[in-house]
Amino acid sequence: MPHLIESGEGAQYLLMGNEAIARGALEAGVKVVTGYPGTPSSDIVERLAKVAIKMNLYVEWSTNEKVAMEVAAAGSLSGVRSMCVMKQNGVNVASDFLLHLAGSGTRAGMVLVPCDDPGALSSANEGESRYFARLFEIPLLEPGDFQEAKDMTRWAFELSESIRNPVTLRSVTRMSHASGNVTFGDIPSEDVHAEFQCNGFMLDPMQGPALSMPVIYRHTEQQKKIKKAREIFENCPFNTYRGPDKPELLIITSSACSLYSREAIRILGVENTVGLLKLGTTWPLPPKLVKRYLSKTDKILIVEEVLPFLEESVKILAAESAYEIGIKRFYGKNDGIIPSVGELNPDLVAEALAQILAIDYQPVSDEYAEKAQRLATLQVPPRELTFCPGCPHRASFWSIHNALQLDGRKGFVCGDIGCYSLAMLPCGFNTLKTLHSMGSGAGLASGFGKLGSFGFTQPVLAVCGDSTFFHAAIPALINAVHHKSNFTLVVLDNGGTAMTGFQPHPGLEINALGEEVPSVDIAEVCKAMGAKVEIRDPFDLEGTRETLNQLIEDKHGLKVLILRQICALSPEKRAGKQYEMTIDEQLCLGDRCGCNRWCTRIFRCPGLVWDQQKRVTRIDDVICTGCGICADICPEGAIKRQEVA
Amino acid sequence: MTSKQLPHEPYNIIITGVGGQGNVMASRILANMLVKKGYYITIGESFGASQRGGSVMSHIRISERSNWSPQIPKGRAHAVIALEPTEGIRILKDYGNPNVILLLNTRPIYPVAVIAGEIEYPGLDEIKNSARDLASKVWFIGASDEAIKLGNPILGNIIMLGALSGVSDLPLENEDFKEVILSTIPPDQLDINLKAYDIGKRKVGLPL
């Protein structure tokens, strides 16, 4: 992304929504940028980390989102603009601090950028960050296209400074990971000076200490700030209307949904009957502006994704002003015209519009649709998600699964968030039996491990990744040690925050800026807590399995097994194969082997192919990464590995 | 602004395949070539789990006027590039229409259930018949095979882009390709990418 820092005002580039947000922050003169990796948000911090040294920014991947927000707030309180980026789930983690920060207030502009994932395209839930704005009484902005993603980010810092409180700029997957044309503004070049002024009068917002107390005073001040934001929003250029003066139906929408709505209006050719009010400022709503458009018609459709956040706000306003604007008919999530789960798209909005306006809408002829559906059903195979070829997790779960089968006491694994969540599927031998938030495998295991007095006898395992270990597993482990809970934690240490693109974490000797930094050793941390710790290479299948069985049989408290092997997608691994793999077709017995095609049917690495014609296994040289472990699972020794010179 | 009028406003292209085939890279190269020509381009990409064996698609919308929804409405693709054969059919089920053109790389990437021997992958002839049945014009291109001959199967995506430049009415010029690809790859990879692009062009001499 070489042009992200180009000064050329007025130049136009194709940018991802996330890049547009990063550019907007640069144009605002941001100095401190923090975050924790999470799709679809990660590119924002990554892009800024790459230009950090040149632009004199401080950028860090923090241990978790709460710490990220605290680090960013320190920048704001010291008079430098700061931004904090995370996926939606991160706001849940950071929320305790955010509640207090909204009370104490901020100084230099501070912008929180959560990226939500409607439809859970790469998440384990479709949680909403918009409600935090209402819950904590901080302004919420939602860009409706790529240019706005940049421009609103820049403006969010100014808004934050004019009310001296954090501002939320919420993106969604289809904005963050989509791309469009963006015209650049200028990047400021003035120097900044950081100092936390804290010796002034206790209630002085700029010179006093940063406190959320006295609570009633601060809360009153906070509500004055929201009132001011509401007034600013009345004349905000990011709230736009497009459509006839007296529409038959008014759509109120925001975010990527405004692009879907615009397209749906065009598909149906109802530009002359349907109006589109696109709101960039979705909390607090600017009441005069919204009332003005509500007055234009009697039928209102609210288009938004997942929960009816905007719908509720608009309905409250409409109820309060019914005596002025009359009674309205609302369409949206509550009546089911817009789905209340999953992401939207132009078709879903077009269908809703067609239903309300009683228009016949058919994307293609029945004949074509039926033919395409029939051929696809016959020919298009499902593509189940799987671990990559050469992925250490496949090896780890192979051993975990086998150890639990050998143990025979109905043991199970508690999981959390990472690529290894896939172990709930056949690719991980369906080993994972619980899946919740970051670090929750360890916390749940700590609870399961205390149920012995009620007759609970199942062995309990938990897994977490190396980055997750630092993010949220440590408190659960301390809890387990302190309460003598009996379970085994397997740390799947693949050398980085792999799922989101190898961002560094505290276990590594490098940070987001590429500087050499001290690392925190997972094994030493666990030992210091009092856990029994073992370290293995998961590619040593038998050694890993044996160690696991020993740890599972040990009934005394917390045991930790660190399985250390770098992710197959890491640059180191991609540089070349360790082994060249071949099949000895004389040795592979195929259907006649008692293994029942263990390698292709159960182990299921994409590099191993069952040859339907020859009735033997073969290696797909393009897919195989040469990790070599399948050689160890073949009972006939038909899979051969040879070290690549 | 642009010299050449678009055949449709907006013109909708879908590039589809399986994670790891260079789908995202192909869509960005194509998009940046067209941005250079002054068009508004919107790309919608599927990310996340895609690297782990799933289907991927990029929606590319080319407009003289504005950015559009990052998701193309159903039935409204004008051109589909399938880096994997069955993924092309999967896309036509949702976004196809009788006027769509299809460029299809003929080398399959088997889903796990196929390589596990649990389900069968359809024969290439069956897929070709479906493709002819669902698209107005189809080009079958052995892009991966040609790319393997060049020494790297990932170049299949560039070959398919070259093929698109040979059949579509879009202003996809060699010079623009060269300039855009140079900004994304190390300079020593330029020649092989140019070669791949040319192979794609040559492969679409005639609709089959």
Task: Please give the mean pLDDT across all residues of chain A.
Answer: 95
- The reported pLDDT for the residue numbered A591 is 86
A600 contact residues in B (CB cutoff 8 A): 115-117
Instruction: Tell me the per-residue pLDDT of A607-622, one tens digit each, with 9 for 90 and over.
Output: 999 988 899 999 988 7
Handedness of CA A291, A296, A299, A304 (dihedral sign): negative
Q: Name residues 127-156 of chain A within 8 A of B (Cβ).
A: 145-147
* pLDDT single digits (tens) A186-226: 999 888 999 999 999 999 999 999 999 999 999 999 999 99
Q: How would you write A460-489 as a 3-class SS string?
A: EEEEEEHHHHHHHHHHHHHHHHHCCCCEEE
Given this model, what pLDDT does residue A385 score? 86
Residue A315 has pLDDT above 60, yes or no: yes
Residue A545 and residue A429: Cα distance in Å, rounded? 15
Quote the CA–CA distance of A516 and A518 in Å, as a whole number. 7
Indicate the DSSP class of residue B22: S
What's the average model confidence in pLDDT over A257-279?
Answer: 97
CB contact under 8 A, B53 and A346: no
Which among B45, B47, B130 is the nearest to A375, CB-wise?
Answer: B130
> What DSSP state is assigned to residue B148?
H
Q: What b/e sequence results for B161-182 when a residue is b if at least 16 CB atoms lie within 10 Å of its CB, and e otherwise?
A: bbbbbbbbebbbeeebbeebbe
For A362-381, write each residue's pLDDT tens digit.
999 999 999 999 999 999 99
Q: How far apart are the first and last CA of chain A?
A: 36
Percentage of chain A beyond pLDDT 90 is: 90
Among residues A61, A303, A44, A306, the alpha carbon closest in space to that of A176 is found at: A44
How high is the pLDDT of residue A81? 98
Better-scored residue on pLDDT, A314 or A590? A314
Considering CB atoms only, which of A259, A383, A569 is closest to B54? A383
pLDDT at A530: 95
| Domains of chain A and CATH, by start | 2-234 (3.40.50.970), 240-357 (3.40.50.920), 392-572 (3.40.50.970), 577-643 (3.30.70.20)
Instruction: Name which of A173, A419, A606 is nearest B115 (Cβ-Cβ).
Output: A606
Q: What is the mean pLDDT of residues A327-351?
A: 97
Q: Could you give the CA distance from residue B152 to residue B191 in angstroms, rounded to a whole number?
A: 13
Contact A622 B148 (CB under 8 A): yes
Fold of the CATH domain B11-203: Pyruvate-ferredoxin Oxidoreductase; domain 3 (3.40.920)
DSSP bridge partners of A490: A463, A561
**Shortest CA distance from B120: residue in chain A:** A381
Nearest to A384 among B112, B117, B121 (CB): B112
pLDDT of residue B4: 61
Could you give the ipTM of this predicted complex? 0.94
pLDDT digits (tens, 9 = 90+) for B58-109: 999 999 999 999 999 999 999 999 999 999 999 999 999 999 999 999 999 8
pLDDT at A2: 54
Those residues whose C-beta lies under 8 Å from the C-beta of residue A68, and which sit 6 or more positions away, are A34, A35, A36, A60, A62, A84, A85, A86, A90, A94
Give yes or no for A181 touching B (CB within 8 A).
yes
pLDDT for B3 beyond 60: no
The average pLDDT across A416-427 equals 93
CB under 8 Å to A613, separation ≥6 — which residues?
A: none
Range from B1-10, B50-59, B116-125 that averages highest in pLDDT: B116-125
Which of A122, A380, A426 shows the shortest C-beta gap to B48? A122
Q: What is the pLDDT of residues A531-545, one digit of tens each?
A: 999 999 999 999 999
Domain spans of chain B?
11-203
**In this predicted structure, which of A283-292, B9-18, B41-50, B81-90 has the lowest mean pLDDT?**
B41-50
Q: Does B204 touch chain A (CB under 8 A)?
A: no
pLDDT tens for residues A449-500? 999 999 999 999 999 999 999 999 999 999 999 999 999 999 999 998 888 8
- pLDDT of residue A54 exceeding 90, the answer is yes
Over 50: is that where the pLDDT of A1 sits? no
Q: For residue A130, give Cα distances in angstroms to A38, A87, A167, B73, B169.
A: 17, 12, 12, 27, 43
- Contact assignment for A40 to B47 by CB distance below 8 Å: yes
Among chain A residues, CA nearest to B69: A259
Cβ contacts (< 8 Å) between A422 and chain B: which residues?
Answer: 52
Instruction: Please give the average per-residue pLDDT across A44-50, as a whole number.
Output: 97
CB spacing of A368 vs B96 below 8 angstroms: yes
Considering only the beta carbons, identify the residue of A123, A173, A350 that sits closest to B73. A350
d(CA B163, CA B81): 9
Q: What does the pLDDT average to over B123-151?
A: 96
**Residues 115..174 of B with a Cβ closer than 8 Å to A: which?**
115-122, 126-127, 130, 133-134, 148, 153
- Whole-number Å distance between alpha carbons of A255 and A265: 16
Whole-number pLDDT of residue A189: 86
Tens of pLDDT, residue by residue over B180-204, are 999 889 999 999 999 999 999 999 8
| pLDDT attached to residue B115 | 86
Give the gap in angstroms from C-alpha A297 to the nearest C-alpha of chain B.
Answer: 26
pLDDT at residue A84, rounded to an integer: 98
Q: Where residue A574 falls among pLDDT bands split at 50, 70, 90?
A: confident
Helix (H) or strand (E) holding A545: helix A541-553
pLDDT surpassing 90 at residue A275 = yes
- For chain A positions 367-426, those within 8 Å of chain B (CB to CB) are 368-369, 371-373, 375-376, 378-388, 419, 422, 426
